[in-house]
Structure formats: C-alpha cells, structure tokens
C-alpha cells in the first residue's frame, strides 16, 4: 500500500468498533437460536468454553476475527453475515 493510500485510511473509531461488536453479539445469539443450538453445543463445536460463548453473545469482551469465524462456522453461517445489520421486516400497508 502506498503512503498516500495509507494516509487516506481512517482508523476505526471506538464507536464504530463497539457498534460492530454489539451487532455481531446480537446476530450471533439470534443465529444460534435459529439453528436451535445451546451455548454448550456451540462451545463443544468450537472448543471454547460455554462462558466464552456467552461473553461473545453479550459483547462482554473483545473477540478476535478468528474467534468470530469459528463461532459463525459452528452455527452454520458466514461470519460476514453476523456483522451486517438485521433485515427489516416489510410492513404491510392497510
């Protein structure tokens, strides 16, 4: 990457990082429930502890990209999907 390109890259602000972590946590919990898996089952599939899965779902601690990918794989979704905003339900007009 050139020096000019590096200069144009903005570091993530704490708010952006916190929002992404919170979104991942919420989406992880929803996807796990949709897959009808318990935290214990996800822990077994990932070789993480159940409290660690709970921490990821409740945005208690930072987690690595690798852990995000492992958790997503364990519940059968692509990791990037857990970082996207939830789709809004279509409202019916009367």
Query: Could you list the residue range(s) of the whole structural domain that residue 68 is in?
Result: 50-84
Residue 40 lies in a domain: no
Q: One digit per residue, pLDDT tens: the chain, 94 residues?
A: 566 555 566 556 668 888 999 999 999 999 999 999 999 999 999 999 999 999 999 999 889 999 999 999 999 999 999 999 877 766 666 5
Within a domain: 23: no
Provide the whole-model pTM: 0.77
Identify whether 72 is part of a domain.
yes
> Does residue 57 contact residue 39 with C-beta atoms inside 8 Å?
yes
* CA pair distance 83, 5, nearest whole angstrom: 25
| Spatial contact of 56 and 67, defined as CB atoms under 8 Å apart | yes
Number of domains composing the chain: 1
């Amino acid at each position: 990457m050139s020096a000019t390109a590096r200069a144009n890259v903005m570091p993530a602000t704490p708010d952006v990082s916190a929002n992404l972590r919170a979104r991942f946590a919420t989406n992880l919990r929803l996807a796990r429930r949709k897959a009808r898996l318990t935290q214990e089952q996800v822990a077994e599939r990932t070789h993480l502890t159940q409290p660690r899965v709970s921490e990821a779902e409740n945005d208690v601690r930072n987690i690595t990209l690798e852990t995000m990918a492992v958790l997503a794989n364990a519940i059968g979704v692509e990791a990037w999907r857990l970082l996207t905003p939830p789709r809004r339900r279509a409202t019916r007009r009367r």
